[in-house]
A and B are shown apart, each in its own frame.
Chain A
């Protein structure tokens, strides 16, 4: 038993070393997990879905930083009992309303288009650009050291008819929205 514990500990430290090598990849991995978490810690009104078994849609706008990882990660995952569907939009202008919209850094200059597209819709718009919330975004990733942090504009979330869990709000930096 003791031997097993020692072996397990050695194995764990080896894995950690490997993960640090891949820090860049890990950032988006985390962001992907966070996206799911956002979906899970936020309530969408009933009318946001076409039917009871309609999927939860996540849109990735701009240059996709997650790649297939996201799909893999979200596969078999459910949000409020609904399957998850990921849609990707090359340009911000193409955006159609989805339940959760992630705006990649590549679209930092055309944020308003996305915001506009989601305006008055039950959509949670997530970005990874400084000052995103000031530009109409609801949630924004930022880096603190090597750690991925989030900031939320609760009034923006509310304006979209969504209710974000206080647990999530407690983790995030609250920013006053536009």
Chain B
């Protein structure tokens, strides 16, 4: 059986109402029945006594007259009274006069004593009197069966009343308990809804103003609080998550940035290492080439002199021609080395690369052969650049030759010019022009790409390449203030992107270098050169051209020579870099006393070093060693022919 506390409130209330009403009914009934039982005993007794008195009165004459028949007749009146079991009349002397009912168990003699109840019987002793005089005694025995019948009847009535009461109470309880349990059940339902759905906008309905109403109110305010806390919690949680996400993204970005920075740093390091390597190699190559140049200057100079002296029919003339050819090849090689090492003196001009490319087109086609298609894709919007046209030609030729060699079975070379080409990253920040040379050849692997610009690095068969082509290109680009980039993959072809800065203002000067016939002169030229062989060679060239030549080993010696010479010196031809007093200082000193003195500088060093010595190549006549004797003669004549213009020669810092 379930415990009362475990039952539902409905059942509990019902049980309580039923139990209470049942108990109340029962106790009321018990009291009534008990009271009835007690009073009805008394009543029975009283009634029996009254009856006895009546009978006694009625029978007193019969007793007095000892008339048993009449007495019996009087007693027979008891027939009409229920529950009388028997009666007996005694005479005055105590003998029996008359009987009623069963004679058995009647007392034979009157017993002194009161009326009493014994064994469920009422026993009445009544004296029969006539005018206060006792004439006999009446004994009546009455059964209490009626009493117990009545008792049981009462019980039955009570039971019936109880049953009916409960029958009435049950539906009443069912109805009444709803008044209490209705709001409770609703509250419970609301609670279940709230528990099963996260949506806490549900509210309990307040139906009454009693404690249950207060409970509903409390429940609702609790829900509101819970909702608010939930919202706050969710907000805090969301906020936290968002912050974690943000921080995570931030961290990832930081990690990425750091990675990128590390990668960039590594790339920069590699570039630095590469640049240092190139620099070292360049320095070495430059040093060697410089000395070579001087030697070649001598070789070529003397050979040239020999050739002018000798009859062309002389077999030695032919030998000397061969010497000259070989010397020129060596000079070319040296020039390339110098270009790579950036020690070449550039002679930059403002030039349109499109024009240059177009001019080169014919020559390039011849160079690359018929198996390879050449396409020019020229951007007409490009602006002029300032560069040495010969160097740029050299650069394009080298790239074209490399492209050709990458395509032994034929293919296509595309030369493209673009203004500020957006397709080429990491270019200059200033306006620039990009020249791209693409081929459809075999491409390069990473190892090849890493060493590509190093001098004497070659993938060609021994004897087919010098290993200087691309290093020359590199040197030219760097020296021209540009950048070079390479896109190449194995079997996908190769593209070189060369980016050169544009000329800031249109200082397009028409350089009208007159192709005049070589002319000598009779002017006096002061030749200053620390290298004896070169000086000798140059003196020979100049003297053969008709000039009078004074010579000196260095600047100081030259000053002394001038002091001792009492004539007019028309032109100073001087080396820039000399151990004792360089060309620049010498020229300034001499021009101090003779402002119209013309000066031509010579150097085997690069532009940078020349500029260091105060020589601005744009303004001053300059010869880059090694130079051809004809170039010297032409240069000297050109300078001497310029009208005396003090401003033009007294420039400088």
Known pairs A12-B95, A168-B65; list 17 more (Cβ under 8 Å).
Answer: A8-B109, A33-B66, A34-B65, A37-B61, A37-B65, A40-B131, A41-B61, A41-B64, A165-B61, A167-B58, A167-B61, A167-B62, A170-B61, A170-B62, A170-B70, A171-B62, A171-B65
- Distance of A30 Cα from B65 Cα, bound (Å): 8
1/0 per residue, CB under 8 A from B, across A102-124: the answer is 00000000000000000000000
| Dominant secondary structure of chain A at its interface with chain B | helix
Q: Are A37 and B64 in contact (CB under 8 A)?
A: yes
B328 within 8 A of A: no
Does B169 sit within 8 A of A, measured CB to CB? no
Interface residues on B, range: 10 to 19
Give A37 to B91 CA distance when docked, in angstroms. 14
Would you give the shortest CB distance from A138 to chain B, in whole angstroms?
A: 16
Contact with A along B99-116 (1 / 0, CB 8 A): 000000000110000000
Judge if A150 is at the interface, Cβ distance under 8 Å: yes
Please report which residues of chain B, range 41-71, place their CB below 8 angstroms from some CB of chain A when the two chains form the complex: 58, 60-62, 64-67, 70
Q: Is B130 part of the contact surface with A, judged by Cβ < 8 Å?
A: yes
- A9 within 8 Å of B by Cβ? yes
Residues of B within 8 A of A80 (CB): 131
- For A170, what are the chain B residues with a Cβ–Cβ distance below 8 Å? 61-62, 70
Residue of B nearest to A34 (CB): B65
Q: B108 contacts A171, CB within 8 Å?
A: no
Measured in the bound complex, the distance between the Cα atoms of B65 and A165 in whole Å is 13
A-B contact pairs, 20 of them (CB 8 A): A9-B108, A12-B95, A33-B66, A37-B61, A37-B64, A37-B65, A40-B64, A40-B130, A40-B131, A41-B61, A80-B131, A165-B61, A167-B58, A167-B60, A168-B61, A170-B62, A170-B70, A171-B65, A171-B67, A171-B70
Chain A residue contacts of B58, Cβ below 8 A: 167
Q: Which residues of A contact B (CB under 8 A)?
A: 8-9, 12, 30, 33-34, 37, 40-41, 80, 150, 165, 167-168, 170-171
Is A150 a contact partner of B65 (Cβ separation < 8 A)?
yes
> Considering the complex, which residues of chain B in the window 10-67 have a beta carbon less than 8 Å from any beta carbon of chain A?
58, 60-62, 64-67
A113 to chain B, nearest CB (A): 28
| Bound CA span A41–B95, Å | 23
Q: Which residues of B contact A41 (CB under 8 A)?
A: 61, 64, 130
User: A30 — which chain B residues lie within 8 A by C-beta?
Assistant: 66
List B residues 161-209 near A (Cβ within 8 Å). Answer: none
CA distance A126 to B62 in the complex (A): 19
Distance of A108 Cα from B579 Cα, bound (Å): 224
Closest to A37 in B: B64
- Are B95 and A171 in contact (CB-based, < 8 A)? no
CA A150 to CA B62, docked complex, whole Å: 12
Complex CA distance for A37 and B58, rounded to whole angstroms: 15
Chain B residues contacting A40 (CB-CB under 8 Å) are: 64, 130-131
Interface string of B105-149 (1 = CB under 8 A from A): 000110000000000000000000011000000000000000000
Q: What distance in Å separates the Cβ of B107 from its nearest Cβ neighbour in chain A?
A: 10
A37 to B131, CA, bound (A): 11
CA distance A170 to B65 in the complex (A): 11
Q: How far is the CB of A173 from chain B (nearest CB, A)?
A: 11
Kindly name the residue among A8, A165, A170, A171 whose own CB sees the greatest number of chain B CB atoms within 10 A: A171
B133, closest chain A residue (CB): A40
